[in-house]
Amino acid sequence: MEAYEEEDIAATVSNLGQYESSTTGSKIFVRSDECVALLKDLQRLLKHDQSADRHVFRLLGRLRVVELYVVPLLLHYHDELPVLFEGARISYLLSTQPKREVRDEQGRTHVCVTMAEQKNYLLETKKAFLQGEVLAALFSMMVEAVGRYDKG
């Protein structure tokens, strides 16, 4: 992955939102106006990250995107369905198990050399979901979706 691509992805992540001080002095996460579109951009990058080393996955792991951005979005904006849905989708993509072996363009099988790093990011992603009310918000989204499906 080129350095400029990494910089673009890092900028996309940082533009998801930021913490600001409230009038009471506590920190709240404030999403950007383009947050949902940026989450979709990150999803698109992850879906095309088919290399053995999963460069985009590893970069998002190093940037702690789930812990620092997605989980706060899910906690603070769980009532906004597009944010909740897109946050859940990117979380799913970042929680998939890495492949032990991969095939290159010539069909040769290689052992993944970044397996330990990928598993570490996977563990950190799962830990991030144990904070606060994230699981409750996701469960609520599923219940609402099932309710709409039953009526529809």
Interatomic CA distance for residues 77 and 29, integer angstroms = 9
* The pair of three-digit structure tokens given for residue 35, joined into one six-digit string: 């947050």
52, 115 Cβ separation under 8 angstroms: no
pLDDT reported for residue 102: 65
Backbone phi and psi for residue 149, each to the nearest 5 degrees, phi listed first: -65, -40
Which positions of the chain have pLDDT values less than 70? 1-4, 52, 97, 99-104, 109-113, 132, 145, 148-152
Residue of 41, 15, 11, 43 whose CA lies nearest to 30: 15
Answering whether pTM is above 0.75, one says yes
Residues pairing with 21 in the sheet = 27
The DSSP annotation for 42-67 comes to HHHHHHT--STT-HHHHHHHHTTHII
Helix, strand or coil, per DSSP, at residue 110? strand
User: Kind and range of the H or E element at 127?
Assistant: helix 115-128
